[in-house]
Amino acid sequence: MVPLPLIERAQGIYLWDEHGNRYIDASSGPVVSNIGHGNERVAEAMARQARTMDFAYSRLARHRPNIKLSERIARLAGPGFERVSLTSGGSEAMEISIKFLRQHALATGQPRRRRIITCQPSYHGGTIAMLGLSGDETLHPFLDDFTISSEKVPAPFTYRVPDNHTPETYARHCAAALDEKITELGPENVLAFAVEPVGGLATGCMVLSDEYVRSVREICSRHGVFLVFDEILCGTGRTGRFLAAHHWPDALPDLVVMAKGLGSGYTPLGAVLMPAALVDELAQRTGFNFSHTYNANPISCATALAVLDEYDAGDLVRAAEARGKQIRDALLAQRGELSVLGDVRGLGLVMAVEMVAEQAARQPLPAAFEATERVRVHGLDNGLMLYSRRTAGGKYGDWFMLAPPLTISEAECEELVARLCATLKALAAEFRAGPW
Ligand SMILES: Cc1ncc(COP(=O)(O)O)c(C=O)c1O
């Protein structure tokens, strides 16, 4: 069992437990705390909003924090994402994005468009419907005949590809699989393809290749299928751009869904980014008929505005790129001494470390070793809080997230890497020593 420390205090990149032990928040919880902990200016903005106007229901009234935040996100997201719908978290934002597209299909006379395609593996949220969209074979006993699963196409992994493939040919194969799946289902029946441009724990931060993104954009456009980027984890600057989608400006998705870093842990918040043309068309025809009580909660909106001020003040999007490179380079430089270090992948400050039994052969660690749990124990022993859990039963590999707050300094990165190397050496020693 991995201990669950009782955390009593948090400041910057650090967390302290009840015994005074200090941990670096090396994954920002589950990739949430982008601006770091204990920010007084954000706390003050939250309190100010609570005193001024704590709540107004989005179906009955408009309010300025919502208008300001929506405009600010749209400005940062740029052309193609002029409209923003604010939710209470990631899963809810994914739900809203799909419901929006479905209602748009109905309003524009395409009632058969109801099938969704996603990748195997993938993660799109924890509601029953979003678990159905997520690609995790171990969920079958729970989900089968209980919710409607999406159609799955293979995720374009790059580190470990089938024997007859290179990463490039495999990406082409995976894009072709999407084309075939849409054709097989009948394009008139397909609503959307949803994909994480940079994955989280489901894929160990798999980054879509340029060619793959351009191909799936072309395929979706050709078939009239909406392309949705699930940037719940990787959006809000983590990758070194405000949106991960900005890495492929000539192949933008139709919708982007974001959450986590937008509230940075100070408040639960998510957002769906949409083009004005689609939203205005639906507004004219039927309007959008779905909502949740806390959509665009005023205190959450004020919090996110203060969070975005911190991004500006600290130039955090640019910092993500620089600090990510620093950590990756430092880790890879020590690869020779870290026998379990397989791959370090990701973009900017959203990375995963894949752990292996043997580097050259990229051989996974045995399932019985439970590397995703053990690495957390060694992390805690070495003053690191790491986010990992086994996904898809370890079928695709074992990894943990490496995604500290974007506010991490150069010196703190060095401390993180030193602690991580000690963690990985302890893990390797335990593996070699056996029995486990
Ligand atoms: C890619 C992705 N999609 C969806 C979700 C669900 O978001 P939430 O946990 O805020 O509901 C997550 C959360 O980890 C995620 O990483």
| CATH numbers and ranges of domains, the chain | 7-31+315-433 (3.90.1150.10), 41-314 (3.40.640.10)
Integer Cα distance of 77 and 80 in angstroms: 8
CA 37 to chain centre: 20
d(CA 285, CA 108): 8
pLDDT digit string, tens, across residues 197-223: 999 999 999 999 999 999 999 999 999
| pLDDT band (50, 70, 90) for residue 1 | confident
Whole-number Å distance between alpha carbons of 417 and 436: 26
Tens-place pLDDT, residues 255-274:
999 999 999 999 999 999 99
pLDDT of residue 161: 95
∠ Cα 343 345 350 (to 5°)? 140
What residue's CA is closest to ligand 1, atom 3?
124
Q: What pLDDT band is residue 176 in, cutting at 50, 70 and 90?
A: very high
Strand, coil or helix: what is 174? helix
Alpha helices in 197-287 (DSSP H): 210-223, 276-285
What's residue 274's pLDDT?
98
Residue nearest to atom 12 of ligand 1 (CA): 125
Residue 124 Cβ inside 6 Å of ligand 1? The answer reads yes
Q: Whose CA is nearest to atom 8 of ligand 1?
A: 90
Distance CA 294, CA 284 (A): 25
Mean pLDDT score of the chain, rounded to an integer?
97
Q: Which of 152, 151, 132 is nearest to 142 (CA)?
A: 132
Residue 101 sits at the vertex; the CA angle it makes with 99 and 106, to the nearest 5 degrees, is 95
309-332 average pLDDT score:
98
What is this structure's pTM? 0.98
Say how many C-beta atoms besides its own lie within 10 A of residue 127's C-beta.
16
Q: Is the CB of residue 232 below 6 angstroms from any atom belonging to ligand 1?
A: yes
Of 28, 91, 116, 134, which is best to mutate to test ligand 1, by the most ligand atoms within 8 angstroms of its C-beta?
91
- Scored b (16 or more CB within 10 A) or e, 79-104 reads ebbbbbbbbbbbbbbbbbbbbbbbbb
**Mean pLDDT throughout 78-95?**
98
**For residue 393, pLDDT beyond 90:** no
Q: Which amino acid is at 335?
A: R
Ligand 1 lined by 196 (C-beta under 6 Å): yes
Closest to 219 measured CA to CA, from 197, 251, 245? 251
Q: Is the pLDDT of residue 305 over 90?
A: yes
Tell me, what's the pLDDT at 122? Answer: 98
The finding on whether 125 has its CB within 6 A of some atom of ligand 1 is yes
SS3 letters for 316-367? HHHHHHHHHHHHHHHHHHCHHHCCCEEEEEEECCEEEEEEEEECCCCEECCH
Mean pLDDT, residues 381-395: 94
Question: Taking a C-beta distance cutoff of 8 angstroms, is the pair 269, 376 a contact?
Answer: no
